[in-house]
Structure 1
């Protein structure tokens, strides 16, 4: 991290003066948005914030205004919302350019109710009030293609060549050098701005990679996630390739964004107990299962998100938990004072991690506050179970939106303004798909590729 000082013609960084500062934040869709300012302009607004039109939360991924439901009082007349920088996130993005992450606030000092980063902060504070500190980690999955982004656009994102060859069953080292070169370049960029990563590897689909970010505070991990994806895009552009975080970019395997979570109390892992899941872990699981159907709307945000939910293909399809059982939605890792944790396996690669973390933390908070006991863990495979034996996750964007709308726990914790706005925007997305060229019977429609390949 760096401190901002202001000589006359830029920020003094030794040999390289800073010529510009980029503001960075996500909207509700997970798109990384911002402005680039002169150092002088940035210094003038570090306390007051910087105005953005409210449309940053009011446009869909096709750049159309989202309509069809009641607007909150802060949206509808191109009102300004205000970006406030978090100076602890200021980094040198590249020579001559700094970058800073922030969140969005209303003129009266209230947070924008659907600001993703502020929702994570809100849930983090609520958890702290219970005496717990959360540590989270995220697995980022993406697919890289040989073609440049310009060629990918010209092809409608169809028929692209996976980078590194056709090996795609996981952990393959038999990759062409361009695949390794891409990931080496990504790792170097992450190191340069102090984003700690732990591992990267070949994933199941051809051209697919997974990178694991180091555990940390939920807000800080959300920041690292947003910047890592931006770096992966920029490196792909620089090397003449293209990368996508689409939930299912081809008719093959999908892509996830698994969240690992542990809780500490007085410096001790609250999820550890010698005999198995601790009381805190059980209650956390109970809360997560009580909210899992509603949270599905948040962690599977787009039409294509639900094309991942296929039995035996990797993603969970049931509202279930198990001990060391990767076929369930929530995997409990037990038996170690340091590593006991929960893995929330539902989120797709297209989820906004800030919102996903807010929803997951809300479920955990509810479980702890209400001492919700979970059902017995699933010991067998949680795919292909007989109908009625276990609840299946909502498998369409509208079913999930209805589940969130009816979820009293998430409404109470995340706020009705967020829930109502999110549900309205998901129903709008369903309508756009069905009226603007989407094909429900296709494995993957051209409309989805055009809408989701580059954004979020």
Structure 2
């Protein structure tokens, strides 16, 4: 096991001391499904955590959606299920204001004995893509928008909460009231506590708005010139929102399509590129998009179908892709076009960027950004032409079709040369094994809708 200098351990302890008096430290990694997994430890052990690492099973990263080991991944069974050492990501040390006992929180990343990152840690997968850009003197900046529903914390089928403000006589399930500030005001206690906790956790929020359906909201996190930190922030934010919702007698739902007759929830990833001097390279001094910008678009379009599994990783993910839903069904791009998979955004040199609109809110932010960066890098390296932008609103007829069922996405991912070259065969094989176990597990379950349809009619 590697041992880091005592100074680093002291730094973590002093950082916690700066934040206040705490009894516990919640330390966790994020598995391939985006699920936090970790331990609570007495805060007095924080210095040792930073110095020696927190031991946790390497197989923790290869769990199915129910938290069971995936035998085909080869990380648990037949290996003795060894531990790896997990070290704190220093920028994530922060209070956990929702906890009953005074608690601090820190995100971890797993390392090998030589100090290198563990290959299947999603944060390591993303960092390797960032490093590819760094070797070319480029710095990817990213921001993430997350949509979610507030649902009533009750037994039985979930139902979105409905604010009292609209008064429009519409059905509660169809009165979206998009961008209503009155709806925001009706949820002010929840929103204010979320924003307060974001400040305490150093999460910079750009905006919050009410989305297209009742009880659906979107929060945009600020750009960060470290794409890993952008993903860290998304993970921490999701956990924060879920915890604060429970304090208000609600549940925050990040499923991609929790309600068949309402809008789905997406995770939109914004990408910009800068050189080592901090100058934007997606546009010239006049804000005109560069050839490099178009080549990045070309790579993203070219490899989007193969990476679909990372954007839509679950059975429910594919319910979101429907006509006229702003969830793209084809790999197309357009200037300012929200129906396109890639929305090209114009403006000043620093504002020119690509908004990747395929991923659902249920996706793992690290893997989404890793896939986006890998495809953009490939496009830049190979100077891939994206072709002409699609006609506005033509997302159903222009561009390569995306795999719109789970099985097809898994099959395409596991035989993709692009995935193997960008991430490595070992990463591809572990992710594929985990998703196949999820797939067959879901297939073995009989949903209530089948009893309702066939119990009496079959």
TM-score (normalised: structure 2): 0.87
- The answer on 1:88 being equivalent to 2:98 is no
Q: CA deviation at 1:96?
A: 3.2
Aligned-residue offset at 1:13: 4.8
**1:287 corresponds to:** 299
Superposed CA deviations along residues 352-402 of structure 1, whole A, max 9, x for unmatched, are: 1011111111111111122222222212323332xxx64211001111122
Q: Distance in 1 between matches of 2:413 and 2:16?
A: 47
Aligned 8 A contact 1:318 1:329 in 2: yes
How far apart, CA to CA, are the structure 1 residues paired with 2:95 and 2:393? 47
Question: Against the structure 1 CA distance between its residues 63 and 92, is the aligned structure 2 distance closer, same or farther, given a 3 Å change threshold?
Answer: closer
Q: Is the 8 A contact 1:275 1:335 kept in 2?
A: yes
Q: In 1, distance between residues paired with 2:450 and 2:138?
A: 46
1:280 positional shift: 0.8
Match of 1:327 in 2: 339
Shift of 1:11: 6.3
Could you say which residue in structure 2 is the equivalent of 1:256? 266
Equivalent residue number for residue 22 of structure 1: 26
Equivalent residue, structure 1, for 2:255: 246
1:114 to 2:135 alignment? no
Aligned residue number for residue 168 of structure 2? none
The structure-2 alpha-carbon separation of the partners of 1:41 and 1:316, relative to structure 1 and needing over 3 Å to count, comes to same
2:370 alignment partner in structure 1: 358
Counting only pairs closer than 5 Å after superposition, residues 22-61 of structure 1 correspond to structure 2 as: 22-61=26-65
User: What number of residue pairs does the alignment pair up?
Assistant: 427
Task: Return the alpha-carbon distance in structure 1 between the equivalents of residues 448 and 110 of structure 2.
Answer: 36
Q: What CA deviation, in whole Å up to 9, does each residue of 1:87-145 have, x standing for no partner?
A: 23222333832222121224464422221111111111111111111111111111002
Q: Give 4+ residue runs of structure 1 displaced > 4 Å after superposition.
A: 10-14, 72-76, 107-110, 438-442
Does 2:431 correspond to 1:422?
A: yes
Q: Which residue of 1 aligns with 2:233?
A: 224
359-368 or 72-81, which deviates more = 72-81
Contact between 2:16 and 2:94, CA under 8 Å: does it hold in 1? Answer: no
Q: Report the CA distance shift for 1:423/1:261 in structure 2 as closer, same or farther (over 3 A).
A: same
Picking from 79, 83, 89, the partner of 2:82 is 79
* 1:398–1:426 Cα contact (<8 Å) kept: no
Post-superposition Cα deviations, 1:165-202, rounded to whole Å, max 9, x if no partner, equal: 54414102332855222111101110122210010000
Rate the CA distance shift 1:197–1:75 in 2: closer, same or farther, 3 A. Answer: farther
Structure 2 residue aligned with 1:348? 360
* Cα distance change on mapping 1:129 and 1:241 into 2, 3 Å: same
SS in 2 for 1:168: coil
Match of 1:310 among 319, 322, 327: 322
Aligned to 2:456: none
Structure 2: distance between partners of 1:297 and 1:440: 26
Q: CA deviation at 1:40?
A: 2.9
Q: Structure 1, unaligned stretches of length 5 or more?
A: 443-456
Partner of 1:451: none
List per-residue Cα deviations over 1:31-50 (Å, max 9, x = no partner).
Answer: 12221111232211313211
1:267 equivalent among 259, 262, 278: 278
Residues in 2 aligned to 1:170 and 1:210: alpha-carbon distance in whole angstroms: 11
Change (3 A) 1:174 1:39: closer
Residues 441 and 168 (structure 1), Cα distance of their counterparts in 2 relative to 1, 3 Å cut: farther
Residue number in structure 2 paired with 1:437: 446
Compute the displacement of 1:65 (Å). Answer: 2.7
1:417 Cα deviation after fit: 1.0
Quickly say closer, same or farther: Cα 1:181–1:373, change in 2 above 3 A: same
CA distance change for structure 1 residues 395 and 439 in 2, over 3 Å: closer, same or farther? farther
* RMSD over aligned Cα atoms: 2.5
- The CA deviation string for residues 34-76 of structure 1, in whole angstroms up to 9 with x for no partner, is 2111123221131321111234223222233324x35258985
Question: How far apart in 2 are the matches of 1:307 and 1:346?
Answer: 13
Cα distance, 1:345 vs. partner?
0.5
**Aligned match of 2:167:** none
Take 1:433 and 1:113, find their aligned partners in 2: how far apart are those partners? Answer: 27
Distance 1:398 1:161, change over 3 A: closer
